[in-house]
A and B are shown apart, each in its own frame.
Chain A
Amino acid sequence: MKIDKVLIERVAKVARLNLKEDEKEGFVKDFKNILELFSKISKINTDNVELGVQPIKVENVFREDKIGKSLNEKEVFQNTNYKEKGFFKGPRIL
């Protein structure tokens, strides 16, 4: 795998994160060093080992489907700049 500006740009596109031109070189260097450290984990055999998704297993947590108090309209929109007719307003989708 070649770690270069092209890879960083590709990942940034997937991550939906614009990068400034001068940031990219720094990330190339960081990717090289950090992935070298991370690749150490390949040396251990993990065949047939379960995924450790949670440190303590909790399964099928349900709660009663009961009506509770929810936020009022003022609270829902308190932190937005873009409100219109009781909806959040966002950019166009396409």
Chain B
Amino acid sequence: MKPKDVLQEAKELNKRYNLFITLNENLFNEKASPKNEEKINFISVKDNICTKGLRTTAGSKILEDYNPVFDATVIEKSKKAKYIVVGKTGMDEFGFGSFSMNCAYEVPKNPLDETKSCGGSSGGGAGYTYASKFSNSSIGESTGGSISCPAAFCAVVGITPTYGLVSRYGLIDYANSLDKIGTFGKNVKEAVNLLNSISGYDEKDSTSINKEKENYEKYLGKDVKKLKIGVIKEYSNGEGINFEVEKEFWEGVKKLESNGLKYKEISFRLSDLVLPCYYIIAMCEASTNLAKFSGIRYGMAKELKGNFNEYFSSVRESYFGKETKKRILLGTFMRMAGYRDAYYIKALKLRSLITQEYKKLFKEFDVLLTPTMPILPPKFAEIEKLSTVENYMCDILTTGPNLSGLPMISVPVKKDRTVGMHFIADHLQENKIISIGDFYERIR
């Protein structure tokens, strides 16, 4: 496998599916000697992760000409582990979306069906992982489900680790208290190998968890029959869950049961409040984060006219997309005097209650299980007809574990099927989601 062949394939796939925003053209000059070729792995990287000398746009027009002068910690680490970056993958602007359609560049198309979405916001990376013959894994990022959703829609595996397990240094933030860098893989093993390379303490990220680095590979091939599974009723039956998703999900559950695992249907008390709680916090944090794009130090600029506020307001008007503007306005509103207590502060308190609810369930169960997404990958024409609220409701299953920073894995219910089995565990229990995800992959 030669770097130029990998790049050539990526170009062809890109022509057909728009999976990349920027390709690493340097691969044409890369001189991999035949001796080293065996050890090299090729990965794609979500475009909100800084790569030195390789354009990084976060899917936004405002960063159209941004060339980072440093590598994010995950890029440094993956390079050390002999991963080579093929390119930067398509995403919703700053991660604001579930279908990769809120993008200032070409919208990625699902390699399993070009009329459908790859999911979002890390859509391009999941699509490329599925479609490429050469690249088996990819670095993604999730705020409210942006790894699990595209993993399910593109029939690949997606691991979202515990908040703080992987350094966020060099990530263009959406919402600091929610963002997590994770991995996609053609299978559980590939996603785990890449996670092994990028996880670990980093003093450049003050929320990085300072604990001994684990080798996650050792959790593959385990007997998991002792694990107790709780299937969350509100997220697995009836209202809001597509009929086909429900049917295939329960077939998956029965497969686990017939292979010796026990499960119990349980209730999640605050299930109807998770989605609004998540969106309030995410928008409030996003509205402050985006204040760094001022058109002065980096990013797109305009003619220096007017005073600072006038210039700043005008740069943002010109280069932010509609969904970004909407989230800045809502996030700002919910932090304004008079509304802050009712929305932002209330949501932060509710988040504590939701996390407590999860912790209660983890006293009885090792793993919680739901479908990954409530719907099958929709056609672009269908997405265009959705209202904003209908659009947000698609995240109903993934926002809970993301809000509480829990580790989760999405595994296709069957090979090449776009329904995901979503296994969730308590903080830092990646071992459980990896073991059960890998087990499920073997028996499905």
Q: Of residues 266 to 298 in B, which have CB atoms within 8 Å of A's CB atoms?
A: 270, 272-273, 275-277, 279-280, 287, 291, 294, 296-298
B1 at the interface (CB under 8 A from A): no
Main secondary structure of the interface of B (DSSP, over half): helix
The closest CB in chain A to the CB of B281 belongs to: A52
Question: A67 near B: Cβ within 8 Å?
Answer: no
The 8 closest A-B pairs by CB, nearest first: A55-B405, A52-B351, A79-B298, A18-B317, A46-B349, A52-B352, A15-B332, A91-B311
Taking beta carbons and an 8 Å cutoff, which residues of A are in contact with B? Answer: 1, 7-8, 11-12, 14-20, 23, 26-27, 30-31, 33-35, 37-44, 46, 49-56, 58, 61, 63, 71, 75-76, 78-82, 88-94
Complex interface: stretch among B72-80, B227-235, B387-395: B387-395
> Is the beta-carbon distance between B345 and A34 smaller than 8 angstroms?
no
- Name which residue of chain B comes closest to A30, CB basis: B388
Q: Which of A11, A46, A94 contacts B329 (CB 8 A)?
A: A11
Output the least CB separation between A39 and chain B (Å).
8
Partner pick for A16 among B209, B312, B352, CB 8 A cutoff: B312
At the interface, yes or no: B6 with Cβ under 8 Å from chain A? no
Query: Interface size for chain B: under 10, 10 to 19, 20 to 34, or 35 or more residues?
Result: 35 or more
| Contacts A16-B309, A38-B280 supplied; 20 other A-B pairs, CB < 8 Å | A15-B332, A17-B313, A19-B317, A34-B279, A34-B388, A49-B349, A49-B350, A51-B348, A52-B354, A53-B348, A55-B178, A58-B209, A71-B69, A79-B297, A79-B299, A80-B301, A88-B297, A89-B304, A90-B294, A92-B307
**Chain A residue nearest to B337 in the complex (CB):** A14
Interfacial chain A residues near B12, Cβ < 8 Å? none
How many whole Å from A71's CB to the nearest CB in chain B?
6
Pairs across A and B, CB under 8 Å, 7 listed? A16-B291, A44-B353, A46-B353, A50-B349, A71-B70, A90-B294, A91-B307
Residues of B within 8 A of A12 (CB): 329
